[in-house]
Structure 1
């Protein structure tokens, strides 16, 4: 999935030492320019670039001339300079940090051009001033959600870019302009703490889709190559499917590589899921023509017996969901070593997931994560480009999906859940009123 390119052998030795220390099992290729600089170095660089990998060109300050090519070599190539004269002079811990930042650029680089966004390294528009931080993510939010819940209006901008940062902080862009900063705490109230009176830019979804066709094609090619590399080693292909954008993207990629005969999408129903999720997976599974298996996790039954709601400290529901998933898999396959699990994990979701290799052994299964390097915006657009609608919960404003009693629900989701039209549905579902009453909001009451 990743190829690192450096100028000389000693630089490659330093990178390999870093990979052995921090990235065991990642199977990252390292190649060199054979010491070449100047025009010969550029010529050699073109020779070693691959359209089947994310190419990360690591250079020291003495080779900064290569930076002029950054953004000019395709959607899958980044040129990243470390703050040392040579790669070989960089401590491996710092080299790992620089590698993380270089990887994050594929996910975070965002531009605006001709009434649409471009989520790509390729220089084709006005670059949004987004800090390159491996923990950040970018996604699109509907203008109606932004105006309804935040009171932020941007004329002519159908979709806004949200940059998810640390501790619930988000930057909001309308086209090329930063128009607001907000904080979404786990508990309490959403705060708009900086709102700028600036004229927005025209943005429409159709143009944004057109702007990203090339980039998504390149990313799809890299993801499908990863899947093809492990295809012949397994007989059964499983996609754990929540109905969210990431697992749905993984499912589409799996269909394109493995076909439908031996591919199974497994949806684990907790009994306290948003009804939108089950309706969505049933609708999309019919459209994709995939084998859909629904397995019950019986979280609702545990609650009926008097068990307390799951908490961040005791997510007993997760254990039930995993057990249900494995029951479903074991009912399909004779042996776990014949099973390949395709997950929708992305680096931006958590530090733990970002440290996992793209392919790994996990509890007796081989697991592959084809969209590790994607942003939330990439998955949103990929679904739409493949004529698959987004889960309607996203249109209501959700960033991530789960159960309606999930301890990971933040103040943002709670605000949406307590508003129409969702409130009218949830009020009639088991355990919801008890959960929402016990959900203590901490902060200034603005009502």
Structure 2
């Protein structure tokens, strides 16, 4: 306790994000380990989820905004007019500009516009999208204010991630790149550390619309070596992918490892993050994979980032996100992915895409079971 009291002024002077907590002493030694682990997981979550409201959303591990904290939650921004139009047309939910979204487990999301909660929506897989409640108390937040309020915080995380990556300077750097926000942020970070990078785009047959163009354009702007491998998906042979039989993922990974095996000393920089799932949270930031082509290192430089941090980092570097993020998507995959929620299926239908999981054809309209309040609700 005394040591922490001495350390706090030094931490404050550094200007870096930090969080400090004194733990109670447990009499039973094993209980101390359990308590320490639970505190570490919670504090990791506070660094990516903690928010302060000061006319805009500012990351702050003290979390004065009172956002619900859970190690398996994520937070991201509902960016773009297309996102707002989709919420209005499909769910009859009004959002302010650049709303904050708390993504909980089971694809349940809480939406904030300005300082107010405005809606809670369930996007549970295999069920109709459902509005649990909504409130007409929207407020706009400018993108410039978000970038300004969070620049130093995100730069501190970026510097930590780049320092971590410098341990791999003697390797051949390979980034599996889907065009999604996480692999894109990983690629940008890698480009800021290493002179030569190879981005591998394993292009599945049922790729999301706009991905080819996005990847090719951004690769040229970044000046990275781009390797594109097209992978057919013979659904007539294997059937539609399911959670129990994700043969498509196996094909994608096999092709990726085959490309990586051509390098003498490769390391894969992947965009896995704690906030995506409990499974990914429990993985260490460096994993050695045993493959048919030998052992390959996988490194996760943005493991402790939130979706919001990833979005703002890409925008801060002067690049746009994949177009689908501006239309309501949280994650990208294939158009026949078994992990597509009905919400994503409806968004694809609006674009005229019909190659969707059979379980969603035909699909029902999203349902609304909402209560509407006439006054703003506090976080």
The 1-side partners of 2:322 and 2:168 are apart by 29
Alignment of 1:318-333 (within 5 A): 318-331=249-262, 333=263
- Name 1:351's counterpart in structure 2: 278
Q: How many residues align?
A: 359
CA 1:88–1:223: 2 relative to 1, 3 Å: farther
Larger Rg: 1
Alignment of 1:262-281 (within 5 A): 263-281=197-215
Q: 2:35 aligns with which of 86, 90, 94?
A: 94
1:439 matched to 2:375? The reply is no
1:76 matched to 2:36? The reply is no
The 1-side partners of 2:49 and 2:362 are apart by 32
Gaps of 5+ in 1: 1-6, 8-35, 50-68
The 2-side partners of 1:394 and 1:285 are apart by 19
Give the structure, 1 or 2, with the largest relative contact order (CA under 8 Å, sep 6 or more). 2
1:35-90 deviation per Cα after TM superposition (whole angstroms, max 9, x unaligned): x26xxx4234455x5xxxxxxxxxxxxxxxxxxx8xx97453112354x3569864
Alignment of 1:39-438 (within 5 A): 41-46=4-9, 74-82=15-23, 84-85=24-25, 90-114=31-55, 116-121=56-61, 127-142=64-79, 143-154=84-95, 157-197=96-136, 199-232=137-170, 234=171, 236-259=172-195, 261=196, 263-299=197-233, 302-303=234-235, 305-331=236-262, 333-334=263-264, 338-363=265-290, 364-419=295-350, 422-423=351-352, 426-427=353-354, 432=355, 435-438=356-359
Q: Secondary structure at the match of 1:409?
A: coil
The 1-side partners of 2:21 and 2:91 are apart by 37
Asked if the contact 1:183/1:193 (under 8 Å) is kept, the reply is yes
Alignment of 1:11-26 (within 5 A): none
Asked if the contact 1:267/1:293 (under 8 Å) is kept, the reply is yes
The 1-side partners of 2:163 and 2:180 are apart by 23
The 2-side partners of 1:73 and 1:184 are apart by 41
Q: Secondary structure at the match of 2:20?
A: strand
- Name 2:374's counterpart in structure 1: none
- Name 2:371's counterpart in structure 1: none
Q: So what's the TM-score if we normalise by structure 1? A: 0.75
The 1-side partners of 2:164 and 2:362 are apart by 44
Q: Secondary structure at the match of 1:170?
A: strand
